[in-house]
Amino acid sequence: MTRRERALAVLRDARADVLVAADPGTVAWLTGAEGDLESGPSPFALPPLAVLDAEGALTLVASEDDAGGAECAVATYPGFTLEPLDPLGGARSALAPLVAGRRLAVEAGSVAAGLLDGAAWVDVTGALLRARAIKDADEIAALRAAVALCDAGQAALRAALAPGRSELELWARVRAAIEARAGRRVPLLADLVSGPRTAGVGGAPGARTLREGELVLCDLVPRLGGVWGDSCATVALGEPSAWAVAAHRRCVDALEAALEALRPGVAAGDLDALVRARLDFPHHTGHGIGGSTHEEPRIVPGSATRLEAGMVVALEPGLYGEHEGVRVEQVALVTADGCDVLSGHDLAL
């Protein structure tokens, strides 16, 4: 099934006439338009919408500034303007002909209330997340490219390690390498913590400076082509502690065991249990990755979701002690009989 067919099935199951998607991941998934995520809502426009009717007609509803990249029909309204601002009015006008008098299926946690005033709607957020879990060839290619950005960032981190450098100095080099590889700015969610901060699982880079023998934990989640990459490595400046060496060995072993077990038919909860039997850690074993940074299939305790070919998951076992923490993460595509690791970064401590 194509992405559009998957979305149509969601619309049918909801017994609605028109799908109005507003989550940036779903909008990019359906229309190809990435949108702009890095600085919050625009004063000139509402975030783009993807509108799909029961006959399969797909329209991106966006301001003229945000319609780039659409691989479908577009319905635009003015963006940047010298006239009085009315982003909601503009979006309503562009949307109205597509939804008037119809029963809507929406992402109710994303779509603005002012766009649905008076319309009957049903929430299909969960169904769309499930529909997005199986990736097609274009999405897999996009995910490979996004993961390659992670690889570039992790390599830059290793090259940048030096005593006295701050987390923010490392961060600047990592980010520069990612954007140089992409040839453009990219949104980037990340943990970058050093020394005792690694015991706290994650966090944003700060002014703390690195000392000999300390760890740096770096988890990079850049967005390119409408999908997010993901990778984590933990690296030592100089000689790591005995705890760090042992913890790192156990994390890598657990990751390898999970990748060995990753194949169609496995329950996500069983994959989680396999890792959690080896390590005790406070977060998920992994998660689907694509239009969202964390999506189906979630590799969490008790999940009955069965892995299927075409799913793409990030697996990220970790161990966090009193003074230090370690996490390693790779992204893998579930194939017909196993998996294909998309990550190419160095996992060595």
Which of 136, 169 has the CB closer to its own copies?
Answer: 169
Cα–Cα distance for residue pair 69/94, rounded to 1 Å: 18
Q: Respond yes or no on whether the N-terminal peptide bond of residue 240 is cis (omega within 30° of 0).
A: no
Which of 172, 309 has the CB closer to its own copies?
Answer: 172
Which of 74, 108 has the CB closer to its own copies?
Answer: 108
Taking CB under 8 A as the rule, does residue 185 contact its own copies? yes
Strand order in the sheet with 330-334: 295-299, 286-288, 312-315, 330-334, 339-341
Taking the complex as a whole, the smallest distance from the CB of residue 341 to its own copies amounts, in Å, to 23
Contact 224, 146 (CB under 8 A): yes
Taking CB under 8 A as the rule, does residue 72 contact its own copies? no
**Candidates 49-57, 93-101, 118-126, 230-238 — which segment interacts with its own copies by CB under 8 A?**
118-126
Bin 42: left if φ > 0, else alpha if -120 < ψ < 50, else beta. beta
Taking CB under 8 A as the rule, does residue 198 contact its own copies? no
Of the CA atoms within 13 Å of residue 106, those in its CB half-sphere come to 19
Binding string, 231-270, against its own copies, x = CB under 8 A? ----------------------------------------
Work out which of 68, 78, 196, 206 binds its own copies, going by CB under 8 A: 206
Taking the complex as a whole, the smallest distance from the CB of residue 160 to its own copies amounts, in Å, to 12
Taking CB under 8 A as the rule, does residue 309 contact its own copies? no
Secondary structure in 3-state letters for 231-297: EEEEEECCCCCHHHHHHHHHHHHHHHHHHHHCCCCCEHHHHHHHHHCCCCCCCCCEEECCCCCCEEE
Q: If binding means CB under 8 A, how many residues of this protein chain bind its own copies?
A: 62
Binding string, 14-53, against its own copies, x = CB under 8 A? ---------xxx-----------xxxxx-xx-x-------
Residue 345 burial (10 A CB sphere; 0-12, 13-18, 19+) = buried
- With CA atoms as reference, report the closest residue to 25 among 208, 333, 293: 293
**Candidates 7-15, 79-87, 248-256, 333-341 — which segment interacts with its own copies by CB under 8 A?**
79-87
Which of 294, 323 has the CB closer to its own copies?
Answer: 294
Chain CA centroid to CA 31, Å: 17
User: Which two structure tokens, joined as six digits, stand for 180?
Assistant: 């140089």
Work out which of 1, 2, 56, 80 binds its own copies, going by CB under 8 A: 80
Which of 255, 299 has the CB closer to its own copies?
Answer: 299
Taking CB under 8 A as the rule, does residue 108 contact its own copies? yes
Cα–Cα distance for residue pair 65/150, rounded to 1 Å: 29
User: Which two structure tokens, joined as six digits, stand for 123?
Assistant: 């929430």
Q: For the chain, what is the radius of gyration of the CA atoms?
A: 22
CB neighbour list of residue 82: distance below 8 Å, 6 or more residues apart? none
Taking the complex as a whole, the smallest distance from the CB of residue 206 to its own copies amounts, in Å, to 6
Binding interface with its own copies (CB under 8 A): 23-25, 37-41, 43-44, 46, 80, 82-83, 85, 87-88, 91, 106, 108-117, 121, 123, 125, 166, 168-169, 171-172, 175-176, 179-180, 183-185, 187-189, 204-207, 221, 223, 283-284, 292-295, 298, 300-301
